[in-house]
Structures are given as structure tokens and as C-alpha cells.
């Protein structure tokens, strides 16, 4: 009965109810869209960064983080990596050797990063062979290398040309070698595209005289959500007490803090906007609920005089507010959900200057949207919280409602 | 000044099964200086009649001619201007603007007419004096009693020097003393200045004071007597 | 008279009006803070880019831009420097000899850009001298000093006085190298810049390279307006006139088009922010005005009966919302102004976002900025939206005839 009353009361002031609900819906749609877009691009960037640069987790020599030196290596033996291989959550493991060298071709030179990898494994992880724009992808036993497109242009190199790599090897030995270019790769991250030489791991181990060692073991987990758990497991498996080499287990946030922080800042900005929006709309909701309460003081007085218990009156107001909020949420979800779903399957592609700017910053110029239940739940919870906040004062007023004054006075809204 | 209604009629819900004939076929004339009470029970149509004479409502048939002007023929803007300049209104409640002081309420209509600030102020003070509220110039309506508010309403109604004053149940919300005071003032103005007053009422005290009583029942004039 | 009435009508329901004004103030403070933050961040990014990377104008051999070969030095740089001397807006310029090479310590090695500079000139064009955190800027005496970033020092395990070997491909296409001693460590707001640059004396580098000359002339101008490259363009054009067509002269927006993009999108993105806020606010205003107007239906009836023309009634309602808008906007903007002024003194400390900001080239203490013109257009927008919001309620009440209005028992 109370529910029927509450619902009908709402429609006495049709315009007001609809306007308030619409404002809520607006805030919800905008926030949902924005957050979905943000989280979508974060996930995208993390994935890209992981696949082409850092991986999700890396095992490194404990000094490597600071030094990035060819001296600080880990064993490349099966024995060493066995504990990681045995974990369920570990999807794949990639050994990598990385160091700097001077690349020279013709009369140009540049400091480049040399990455020694197992081509088949890497390709499986990041489908890097798809990004080969000229020439062919390398194989594990090749003695030729892949070069980033930006770098190839800089050094004016084409497939089949040769380049010299010159640098420092393990235990002070000189690293020097002449290599043929087997293919040119377009890396989606420009920092890599302009800097990277991709070569088979054994070849790089020969160049740097490292023997059976690597700079890092890159680990991919089955799901991003299991990352923390896997990280903890790995830390335990490779803790200092167990081994003589000290191993550092690092996740992508640690490996690429700029990205982690940029994401954090962007997220903070987005959440600020969202609360701002809901805040403004919240004032409107508060005003509506308050007016609805104070205008009907006399009516409430009559209700209580004829026997409606105060608690039920409070319940009535709560119900009415809930209905308005529910209405707003429903409209918002009805409008917002198809929008988010559509753009999830057809992400917006950016063009022109904005696209270039994003490419420079290392982001793909699309706007992916994340489709995830907690995005929606988040919004609903915020509206709920907002509503509860707005109810505090009106409910307090009803609680203190004095029957006689109410019946006499009526709508003294001040 | 004369008011003439000819074959005046007002029907609601004309096209339904239950049309309401609020006013049926009325011919009426009122002259300058009269003090007329239109009486009848609620629902008799007296308010509708007054609304039509005052130009607030449009008749379904017939005409209202005031000093030769057919007010039903006047368009929106012209009608509003006519009302402003020629008819004073007093309502049962809610006559005054609650956010303006007594003085400002009386000045208001004159300002709409475009008189200078000084003129408005002077005349307003004079009028408020006449209704015995010279000391309450700067009070807002909520600080005045019901009787005082209606007296301000009288002053406000008279401010634009209207041809006649219409009052719709002016004493309905007043106690005996205030009613008497209000009627005294209206009677005084009528006798001294010759202001024409037309009220609708079912308050017997008002009816006693009127010099002409028109009885209205079921939309029809049943009696029109002088007293 | 109408305005007096409108103002008093606004305050009939003090609570409701107060809530609306609070909403406006709240929203405006949020919006202005965000705008200030964005402006501050991007402004800082541009400032730093100009200070460190692009300066205002740069001259190169035109082929050097795409193809930084060591032999592509600037044609007749003396003509350019002579001209620069004559231009009053020029604060300083620096001639640089640049090679891409490797720097190696006993521990590790890195690819870097080796900047061979004139000690004093460079210190006038970029803040390098004051950014040396340990040790000192390049000294005039001493053999082969080098200044590296703190980041590089960390990677290569360097201390003051450590020895490093710098190698690159010289003019004869031979890989050449020499030992240098670290004389100082610098730190700039941009982590990428720090990672990729070291400084040596131009003379030392030219000797190693086997050729003389400069690859880059960077010019710093006395330009107060950081959002516009107008001054840079005019200086650029002057230089173009007197120099060979083999040289490329570019202003900072040409050198780093991303900066121009950033400036271009700042305006629209702030406008969108404001737009969203006023939309939400607009709903609230319409709602409140509807309530306010319909409560007074009878009163409006009386007004029209007593002789107030419809257009005046309309004006009254418009005045009421305008006053609401003006009051709310003033309140909100005054508070925001106060907050921003405060933050401009204290700054917003973002120390724990150092790496993220460093990637953008932004300082870790942020000073929000809002221009006077921005306050103005926010004010106007808010008032305008309030006026628009009044249209629907006004139309609704004017549709009624006085008799209907007056018959309404609210």
C-alpha cells in the first residue's frame, strides 16, 4: 500500500519528477561513457606496453633495475626457470637479453637497444610478425636481425643491408659484429620503433659473450586479474633464501612507472569530473526531495493524525526518493548501455593531429571502451549513496515533525 | 460611467453530455456611483459573472459594454491595458504581492501605467492614509492582519483611478470587526468620491450595507432590488 | 521595478534558492579547479619544452632535420649569428655540435645524444647551468669534461669524476671514441630528455669528429605569451631572409607540432568541461524555476488581471533566473578565484607522480592557471544558460489565461 502511495505521489508533480530523474540519468550516462572509455584505454595501453615492451612480470637480476648493465644477468637454464613454469597461472615465459650498443651504417651512428629473443615465442605472445612491413620475420637460428622502422629510416637501411653493432659485452669483453637486415618491423610504441634491433637470442648471446644467460625472463599470466597472486607466488619461489643469485620479481607498474602514473592521474581526473557531475545533480535531487517533504507538511500532519505511524511516513519518503533515483538510473542505463556496448564493438578511431599526438605519446589512436559489470555497478552505487545523503536532512525534518504545527501551519518551507 | 451586459452567457463543457450553464442569458446595467452586491450561494455563477464584467473571463455569448467599449472585442494586450487603467480588483485572498510592502503594492499598478516615481509615491501615501493605514506603509502583507491587507487592496485597486472597483468575496476571510472596518471605508469612498463598487458575496453583513442587491441562482438573476 | 520584484521573489524560498546557489558554487569551483589544473599542466609542459627542447627558433641544415648526419652542418652560421645580434627580442642563442652515440662506463652503456655546446651560450639559452644538482656545469679548463643527467649517472654507476667513454661514427665514417670525466649531474623535468642527453664542450667534440661547424642554432626570445608562436614566427622569417635556402629555420611549433596540438585542444576541452557542468546545472535551474513559477500561479493571474502585460510577466521570470545565474556565478567564481590564487602560491605537490609527469616533461609542483578571459566566458555562459532555462517555465505560465490561473488552488 505504501509503495502504491509513494509511486502515485511521485506523479502528482510529473514535470519535477521527470526533470530530476533526467538530470540523474544524464550524470549516469556521461559518467558511464567516460569511465568506460578511460578504463578501456588503460587496459589497451597496459596490454600494448606489456606485449611490446615490458611484459606483465619480469624476473631480473636484482641490480639490473638500476644499472641496466650487461653484467647483471640471470641463468638461462631450464633448471632456473622450472619453478615459474610449474605455476598454473603462468601462461608463457620468454627469455630476453637486452643491452645497448652503437649501431653504425654508412656515416651515421646511433645508440640503439639490442633485444635478443626467441622469435617463435615472442611472436606467439605479441604477434610481432604481423608488424613486419618489409622483409621477413627472424628464426631462432638466424644470423640476421630485425630493425625498427624509425631506426631503419634514420640509418637509411633497407632489407639486405648490413649494419655494425658495437658495444660492451659481459665481463668487459668488446661486443662487435656485422649483421644483415632480414626485415623491418613497425613497433606500435615509437620509443621502440626508433631504437630497437631485434635479434635471435643465441646470436645476441654470442655478440655480448654472455654464454647461457639472459637479462630478464618475461612472464605472461593467464589473466590480468590474477596478476597480483602470480606476482606473490613468484616472489616466494624466487626469494633470496632459496637461491644464490638474487632475483628481482617486478610487475609492469614497476617496470614502466610512467605509464602506471599517467593512468593514475588520468583516472583521478576522470573520477573528479564524475563526482563533480554527480555533486551538481545531487544538489538538485536534494532540493527536490526536500521540497517534496516540506510542501506536504500539512498532509503529513493529516496522515499522522489519522493513524499513520511516523516510521511509516519516513518509509514513504524513502520509497519516493528511491523511485526517483531508480527512474533516473533506469533511464540512464537504458540510454547509456547501448552506447557503451556499441562503442565497445566499434571503437572510435581518431584521425589527424590528435591521432599523431597519441602516437607520439605511445598510444594507439583508437578509443576502446571497457565493458565490465563493475562499471555499471559503480554508477548505481554512487547514485544510491547520493540519494541516501540527500535523504538525511528531509528525514530528520519529518522525524521532528510536530503534529499540531503541521496541521495549522502547512507549507512554511523556511 | 455605465456597464451594460447584453444576452450574456457562459457555458462550460459545451460539447459534452453535461454542459454547465454558469450564466444564462443575462441583461444587466450598472451606473456610476452604485454600491452593488451580487449575492448567491456557492456555485451560483456570481464569480463567473463578475469575471466576465471585469474582462478576466470570456463569455460564451453576448457582450459586455463599458462606457461604449465592447470589452469582449478587445485583444489580449488591449484588454490588459483596459483592465489596468479602468478596473480595480479586490480578491478574496491573495490580492497583494507578498514580497512588496504596502506602499510598494499600491505604487505597483501606477508604475505599470508609467507614472513618475514621485507621482506614484505621493498618491500611494494619500490612498493608504485614506484607508487608515498611514502608519503601516513599509510593512509586508505577512506582517498585516487580514483586514489590513484587504484595506491595502482597496488602496491598490483605487490607485489607477479606475472607473469602477470589483471585489470578489472580499470579506470571506475576515472577522466581524475587520469586515465592519472594510465596509466603512468602501462606503465612505463611495459616498464621498462617488466610486462605483461591485461585490460578489454571501456575507449578510455586506448585503445589509449595499444599496442594490442582485440575487443570483443557478446562473440566473432572480432578484434585483434597491435598499 | 521589475528587477526589485524579481530579486525579492528569488528569496521567497530561501532554502531552495540557497541550495541552488550552493550547487552552482560547488560546480563552478570544481570546473575552474580542473581548468586551472589542465592549463597549469599543459602550460608547464610547453614552458619546459621551449626551455629545454625547442627554444623559440632553431636553425639546422635542411637535410639534417630528417637525416642527422655529422657532415650536415649549418651553411654560413656567421650570417645568422650576426643577424641575431641585431634583433632586440633575442635574449640569447647557442650553437651546438650534435652527434648520436654511446656513452659507456665500466658498468654499463647507453645510447645518447651528445651535445657539444659553448659553455656560456648554452647556459643562457637553457636552464642547464642551474639544473646541475651535483658538481658543476662544464668548466672552461680541464680535459674533456662531460655533464650527464642524474638518471644516466644512476644507470652507469657514475660519481663525480668518474671516467666514461663516448663513442660515435665520425666524419670519416670511422667509429671514434674518447674518454671524458664527469664534472656534474643535471636534472630536468623531462625524464626522456634526461635519459637521452649529455653535454660536452663543442671544441672537444669537433676535435673528435674531425670537422668544424655547428648542427643546430637554438634561439631564445623575450616572449611573454607562451601560447602563441607569433613572435617566434616573425624572428624566424627575419632569419630566413638572410640565410641560404639550404638551411631550415623553424619556430617551436614547427619543431614540435605536438605542442601546437596541445594548445589547440586546450580551448575546446575546457569548453566541453564547462558545457557538461552547465547542462547538469541547467536541469536544476529549470526544475527550480518550474516549482517557483507554478507555486505562484494565482499570483501571476492577479498580476495579469491587475494589468501587467504578458511581456512584462515574461521579463520578470527571465530576470529572476538571470539574477540567480549572476549571483551563483559570482559566488562560484569568487570562491574559485580565491582557491586558485592560494594554489598559485602553494602549488599542488605531485611528488609521487614524478615519473608519470616526467614522461610529459612537467614539473612535480603544479601551479594552476586560469585566465581572466576564461572567468569572463564562464560567467557569461552560466548566466546565459540560466536565461535559457527560464524559457520553458515562462512559456508554461504565459499559456494560461488569468481566469484559469487564478482559479488554481495550489
Distances (CA, A) of B139 to B94, B103, B105: 16, 8, 10
Contact residues, chain C, for B49 at CB < 8 Å: none
Cell of B100: 512588496
SS3 A95: strand
- Nearest-by-CA chain C residue for B88: C306
In this prediction, residue C153 carries a pLDDT of 92
Dist CA A363 CA A41 (whole Å): 9
Neighbours of C184 (CB within 10 A): 22
**Contacts C257 to A, Cβ<8 Å:** 353, 356
Q: Do C305 and B97 touch (CB under 8 A)?
A: no
Provide the 3-class DSSP secondary structure of residue C117.
strand
Query: Quick check: A217 contacting C, CB < 8 Å?
Result: no
Distance from CA of B173 to the nearest CA of C (A): 16
pLDDT band with cut points at 50, 70 and 90 for residue C202 = very high
* pLDDT reading at B186 higher than 70: yes
Contacts of B25 (CB under 8 A, 6+ apart): B7, B8, B9, B62, B220
Q: Which of chain C's residues have a Cβ under 8 Å away from the Cβ of B84? A: 306-308
Residue B191, number of CB atoms within 10 A of its CB = 11
Cα separation, A251 vs A359, in Å, equals 24
Cβ separation of B84 and C302 shorter than 8 Å? no
What are residue A379's DSSP bridge partners? none
pLDDT band at C408 (very low <50, low <70, confident <90, very high): low
Res. A43: pLDDT tops 60: yes
- Is it the case that residue C263 has pLDDT exceeding 80? yes
Residue C218 near residue C58 (C-beta atoms within 8 A): yes
Closest CA to A66 of C153, C277, B9: C153
**What are the φ and ψ backbone dihedral angles of A86, each rounded to 5 degrees?**
-75, -15
Instruction: Give DSSP secondary structure letters for B13-81.
Output: STTSSS-EEEEEEEEEEEETT-EEEEE--TTSSHHHHHHHHTTSS--SEEEEEETTEEGGG--HHHHHH
Chain-chain contact of C284 with A166 (C-beta, under 8 angstroms): no
Per the model's pLDDT, the better-predicted residue between C342 and A224 turns out to be C342
8 Å CB contact between B185 and B133: no
Environment class of C67 (CB within 10 Å of its CB; exposed 0-12, middle 13-18, buried 19+): middle
% of chain A residues with pLDDT over 70: 94
β-strands C109-117, A216-221 pairing: unpaired
Would you state the pLDDT for residue A412?
A: 47
| Category of A109 on φ-ψ map: left (φ > 0), alpha (ψ -120 to 50) or beta | beta
Question: pLDDT at position C2, please?
Answer: 85
Cell numbers standing for residue C244: 641560404
Longest Cα separation, chain B: 57
Instruction: Give the confidence band of C227 by pLDDT, cuts at 50, 70, 90.
Output: confident
Cell of A28: 549516469
Please list every residue in chain A whose beta carbon sits closer than 8 Å to the beta carbon of residue C258: 356-357, 360
In angstroms, what is the C-alpha Rg of chain C?
A: 31
Q: Which helix (H) or strand (E) holds A146?
A: strand A144-148
Interface of B with C (CB under 8 A): 51, 54, 56-57, 76-77, 80-81, 83-85, 89, 91, 94-95, 97-100, 108-109, 111-113, 156, 160
pLDDT in tens, A363-394: 667 778 888 888 889 889 999 899 999 999 88
How confident is the model over C344-373, as pLDDT tens digits? 888 888 877 777 788 778 888 888 988 889
Residue pLDDT, tens place only, A88-120 = 888 889 999 999 888 888 877 888 899 999 999
Confidence of residue A182 (pLDDT cuts 50, 70, 90): very high
B170 close to B196: Cβ distance less than 8 angstroms: no
What three-state secondary structure class fits C228? coil
Residue B110's closest chain C neighbor by CA?
C307
Query: For residue B116, what is the nearest residue in chain C, using CA coordinates?
Result: C1
Predicted confidence at residue A411, as pLDDT, reads 46
Cell of C42: 599543459
Beta strands C109-117; C197-201: pairing state: parallel
Least confident of A11-25, A38-52, B120-134, C39-53: A38-52
ipTM for the assembly = 0.80
Question: Average pLDDT over chain A, rounded to whole?
Answer: 84
Confidence class of residue A177 from pLDDT cuts 50, 70 and 90?
A: very high
For the cut 70, the answer to whether the pLDDT of residue C407 exceeds it is no
Please tell me the least confidently modeled range out of A207-216, A348-357, C47-56, C225-234: A348-357
pLDDT of residue A359: 66
B-C interface: how many C-beta pairs under 8 angstroms? 59
Neighbours of A263 (CB within 10 A): 19
Instruction: Give the integer Cα–Cα distance in Å for C195 and C113.
Output: 9
Residue A413 pLDDT class (50, 70, 90 cuts): very low
Chain-chain contact of B111 with C302 (C-beta, under 8 angstroms): no
Q: What is the pLDDT of residue C138?
A: 92
- What integer best gives the mean pLDDT of chain C? 88
Site of grid cell 626469494: A239
Report yes or no: A283 at the C interface, CB cutoff 8 Å.
yes
In order, the DSSP letters of C53-96 are II-SEEEEETTTTTS--TT-PPS-HHHHHHHHHH-TTEEEEEEE
Q: How many residues does chain B have?
A: 227
The set of cell numbers assigned to B50 is: 463578475
* Closest residue in chain A to residue C286, using alpha carbons only: A19
Q: What is the pLDDT of residue A183?
A: 93
The CA distance from B24 to B14, in Å, is 13
DSSP-based three-state secondary structure for C369: coil
Mean pLDDT of A178-203: 87
pLDDT of residue B207: 86
Q: Which residue has the higher pLDDT, B50 or C150?
A: C150
Q: What is the pLDDT of residues A245-286, one digit of tens each?
A: 678 888 888 888 877 888 888 888 888 888 888 988 888 888
Which among B83, B94, B97 is the nearest to C307, CB-wise?
B83
| Whether B and A touch (3+ CB pairs < 8 Å), yes or no | no
Stated length of chain C: 410
Residue bearing cell 628481482: A248
Query: Under an 8 A CB cutoff, do C304 and B89 touch?
Result: no
Distance in Å, alpha carbon of B131 to nearest chain C alpha carbon: 20
Q: What percent of chain C shows pLDDT beyond 90?
A: 41
- Residue C382's pLDDT is what? 94
CB A282 within 8 A of CB A306: no
Between C295 and C131, residue with greater pLDDT? C131
d(C-alpha C147, C-alpha C246), whole Å = 32
- Would you give the DSSP letter of residue A138? -
Going along C187-237, which residue ranges are E strands?
197-201, 216-221
- For residue C313, pLDDT over 50 is answered with yes
pLDDT in tens, B147-177: 888 889 989 888 888 888 988 888 888 888 8
- CATH numbers and ranges of domains, chain B: 2-90+156-226 (3.40.50.300)
Taking the C-alpha atoms of residue B178 and residue C113, their distance in angstroms, rounded to an integer, is: 98
Q: Are A318 and A395 in contact (CB under 8 A)?
A: yes
Q: Which of the other chains make 3 or more beta carbon contacts under 8 angstroms with chain B?
A: C
Are β-strands B69-70 and B61-66 bridged in parallel, bridged antiparallel, or unpaired? antiparallel
Strand B35-39 and strand B196-201: the pairing is parallel
- Percent of chain C scoring above 70 in pLDDT: 98
**How far apart are the C-alpha atoms of B220 and B45, rounded to whole Å?**
8
Residue B19 has pLDDT above 90, yes or no: no
Alpha carbon of B177: minimum distance to chain C alpha carbons (Å): 26
Which among C136, C181, C134 has a CA at the least distance from the CA of C162? C181
Cβ separation B56–C302 shorter than 8 A: no
pLDDT at A362 over 60: no
pLDDT at C410: 38
Angle between helices A257-295 and A310-345 (to 10 degrees): 140
Give kind and range of the element (H or E) at residue A303: helix A297-305
Average of per-residue pLDDT values in chain B: 86
Q: Please report the pLDDT score of residue C95 as a whole number.
A: 93
Amino acid at each position: 500500500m505504501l509503495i502504491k502511495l509513494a509511486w502515485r505521489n511521485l506523479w502528482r508533480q510529473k514535470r519535477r519528477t521527470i526533470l530530476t530523474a533526467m538530470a540523474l540519468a544524464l550524470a549516469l550516462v556521461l559518467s558511464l561513457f567516460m569511465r568506460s572509455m578511460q578504463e578501456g584505454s588503460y587496459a589497451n595501453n597496459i596490454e600494448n606496453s606489456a606485449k611490446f615492451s615490458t611484459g606483465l612480470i619480469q624476473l631480473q637480476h636484482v641490480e639490473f633495475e638500476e644499472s641496466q648493465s650487461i653484467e647483471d644477468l640471470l641463468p638461462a637454464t631450464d633448471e632456473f626457470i622450472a619453478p615459474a613454469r610449474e605455476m598454473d597461472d603462468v601462461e608463457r615465459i620468454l627469455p630476453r637479453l637486452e643491452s645497448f650498443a652503437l649501431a653504425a651504417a654508412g656515416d651515421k651512428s646511433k645508440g640503439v637497444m639490442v633485444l635478443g629473443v626467441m622469435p617463435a615465442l615472442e611472436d606467439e605472445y605479441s604477434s610481432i610478425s604481423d608488424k613486419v612491413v618489409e622483409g621477413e620475420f627472424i628464426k631462432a637460428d638466424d644470423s640476421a636481425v630485425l630493425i625498427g622502422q624509425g631506426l631503419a629510416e634514420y640509418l637509411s637501411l633497407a632489407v639486405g643491408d648490413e649494419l655494425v653493432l658495437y658495444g660492451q659485452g659481459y665481463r668487459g669483453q668488446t661486443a662487435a659484429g656485422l649483421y644483415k637486415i632480414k626485415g623491418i618491423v613497425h613497433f606500435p610504441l615509437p620509443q621502440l620503433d626508433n631504437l630497437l634491433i631485434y635479434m635471435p637470442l643465441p646470436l645476441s648471446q654470442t655478440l655480448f659473450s654472455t654464454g647461457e644467460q639472459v637479462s630478464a625472463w618475461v612472464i605472461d599470466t593467464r589473466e590480468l586479474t590474477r596478476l597480483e597472486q602470480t606476482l606473490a607466488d613468484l616472489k616466494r619461489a624466487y626469494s633470496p633464501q632459496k637461491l644464490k643469485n638474487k632475483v628481482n620479481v617486478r610487475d609492469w607498474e614497476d617496470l614502466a612507472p610512467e605509464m602506471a602514473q599517467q593512468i593514475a592521474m588520468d583516472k583521478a581526473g576522470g573520477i573528479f569530473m564524475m563526482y563533480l557531475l554527480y555533486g551538481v545533480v545531487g544538489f538538485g535531487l536534494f532540493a527536490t526531495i526536500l521540497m517534496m517533504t516540506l510542501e506536504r507538511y500539512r498532509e503529513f500532519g493529516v496522515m499522522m493524525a489519522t493513524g499513520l505511524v511516523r516510521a511509516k511516513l519516513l518509509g514513504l519518503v524513502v520509497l519516493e526518493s528511491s523511485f526517483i533515483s531508480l527512474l533516473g538510473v533506469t533511464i540512464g542505463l537504458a540510454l547509456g548501455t547501448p552506447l557503451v556496448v556499441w562503442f565497445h564493438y566499434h571503437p572510435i578511431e581518431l584521425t589527424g593531429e590528435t591521432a599523431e599526438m597519441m602516437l607520439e605519446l605511445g598510444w594507439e589512436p583508437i578509443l576502446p571502451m571497457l565493458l565490465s559489470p563493475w562499471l555499471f555497478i559503480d554508477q548505481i552505487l554512487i547514485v544510491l549513496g547520493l540519494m541516501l545523503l540527500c535523504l538525511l536532512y528531509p528525514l530528520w525534518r519529518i522525524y521532528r515533525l510536530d503534529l499540531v504545527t503541521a496541521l495549522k501551519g502547512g507549507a512554511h518551507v523556511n | 460611467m455605465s456597464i451594460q451586459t447584453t444576452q450574456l452567457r457562459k457555458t462550460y463543457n459545451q460539447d459534452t453530455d453535461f454542459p454547465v450553464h454558469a450564466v444564462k442569458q443575462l441583461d444587466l446595467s450598472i451606473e456610476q456611483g452604485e454600491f452593488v452586491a451580487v449575492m448567491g450561494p456557492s456555485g451560483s455563477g456570481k464569480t463567473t459573472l463578475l469575471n466576465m464584467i471585469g474582462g478576466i473571463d470570456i463569455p460564451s455569448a453576448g457582450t459586455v459594454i463599458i462606457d461604449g467599449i465592447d470589452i469582449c472585442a478587445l485583444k489580449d494586450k488591449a484588454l490588459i491595458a483596459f483592465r489596468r487603467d479602468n478596473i480595480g480588483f479586490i480578491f478574496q485572498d491573495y490580492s497583494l504581492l507578498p514580497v512588496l510592502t504596502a506602499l510598494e503594492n499600491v505604487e505597483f499598478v501606477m508604475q505599470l501605467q508609467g507614472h513618475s516615481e514621485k507621482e506614484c509615491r505621493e498618491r500611494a501615501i494619500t490612498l493608504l492614509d485614506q484607508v487608515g493605514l498611514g502608519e503601516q506603509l513599509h510593512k509586508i502583507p505577512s506582517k498585516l492582519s487580514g483586514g489590513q491587507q484587504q484595506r491595502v487592496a482597496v488602496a491598490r485597486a483605487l490607485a489607477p483611478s479606475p472607473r469602477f472597483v470589483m471585489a470578489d468575496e472580499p470579506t470571506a476571510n475576515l472577522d466581524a470587526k475587520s469586515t465592519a472596518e472594510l465596509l466603512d471605508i468602501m462606503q465612505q469612498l463611495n459616498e464621498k468620491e462617488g466610486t462605483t463598487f461591485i461585490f460578489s458575496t454571501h456575507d449578510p453583513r455586506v448585503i445589509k450595507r449595499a444599496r442594490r442587491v442582485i440575487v443570483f441562482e443557478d446562473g440566473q438573476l432572480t432578484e434585483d432590488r434597491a435598499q | 521595478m521589475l528587477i526589485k520584484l524579481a530579486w525579492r521573489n528569488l528569496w521567497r524560498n530561501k532554502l531552495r534558492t540557497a541550495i541552488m546557489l550552493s550547487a552552482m558554487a560547488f560546480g563552478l569551483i570544481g570546473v575552474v579547479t580542473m581548468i586551472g589544473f589542465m592549463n597549469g599542466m599543459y602550460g608547464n609542459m610547453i614552458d619546459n619544452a621551449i626551455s629545454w627542447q625547442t627554444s623559440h627558433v632553431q636553425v639546422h641544415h635542411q637535410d639534417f632535420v630528417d637525416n642527422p648526419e655529422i657532415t650536415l652542418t649549418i651553411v654560413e652560421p656567421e650570417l645568422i649569428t650576426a643577424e641575431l645580434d641585431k634583433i632586440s627580442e633575442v635574449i640569447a642563442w647557442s650553437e651546438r655540435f650534435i652527434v648520436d652515440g654511446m656513452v659507456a662506463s665500466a658498468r654499463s652503456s647507453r645510447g645518447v645524444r651528445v651535445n657539444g655546446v659553448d659553455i656560456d651560450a648554452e647556459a643562457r639559452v637553457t636552464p642547464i647551468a642551474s639544473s646541475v644538482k651535483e658538481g658543476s656545469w662544464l668548466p672552461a679548463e680541464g680535459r674533456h669534461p662531460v655533464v650527464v643527467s642524474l638518471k644516466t649517472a644512476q644507470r652507469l654507476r657514475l660519481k663525480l669524476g668518474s671516467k666514461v667513454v663516448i663513442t660515435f661514427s665520425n666524419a670519416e665514417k670511422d667509429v671514434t671514441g674518447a674518454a671524458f670525466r664527469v664534472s656534474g649531474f643535471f636534472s630536468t623535468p623531462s625524464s626522456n630528455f634526461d635519459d637521452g642527453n649529455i653535454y660536452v664542450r663543442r671544441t672537444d667534440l669537433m676535435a673528435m669528429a674531425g670537422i668544424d661547424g655547428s648542427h643546430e642554432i637554438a634561439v631564445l626570445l623575450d616572449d611573454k605569451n607562451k601560447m602563441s608562436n607569433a613572435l617566434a614566427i616573425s624572428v624566424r622569417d627575419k632569419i630566413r631572409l638572410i640565410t641560404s635556402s639550404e638551411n631550415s629555420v623553424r619556430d617551436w611549433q614547427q619543431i614540435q607540432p605536438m605542442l601546437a596540438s596541445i594548445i589547440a585542444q586546450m580551448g575546446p576541452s575546457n569548453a566541453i568541461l564547462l558545457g557538461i557542468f552547465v547542462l547538469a546545472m541547467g536541469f536544476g535551474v529549470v526544475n527550480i524555476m518550474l516549482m517557483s513559477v507554478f507555486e505562484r500561479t494565482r499570483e501571476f493571474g492577479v498580476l495579469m488581471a491587475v494589468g501587467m502585460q504578458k511581456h512584462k510577466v515574461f521579463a520578470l521570470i527571465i530576470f529572476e533566473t538571470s539574477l540567480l545565474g549572476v549571483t551563483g556565478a559570482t559566488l562560484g567564481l569568487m570562491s574559485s578565484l580565491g582557491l586558485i590564487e592560494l594554489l598559485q602560491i602553494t602549488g599542488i605537490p605531485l611528488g609521487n607522480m614524478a615519473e608519470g609527469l616526467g614522461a610529459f616533461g612537467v614539473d612535480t609542483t603544479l601551479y594552476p592557471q586560469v585566465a581572466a578571459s576564461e572567468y569572463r566566458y564562464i560567467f557569461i555562459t552560466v548566466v546565459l544558460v540560466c536565461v535559457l532555462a527560464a524559457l520553458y517555465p515562462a512559456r508554461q505560465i504565459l499559456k494560461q489565461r488569468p481566469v484559469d490561473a487564478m482559479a488554481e488552488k495550489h
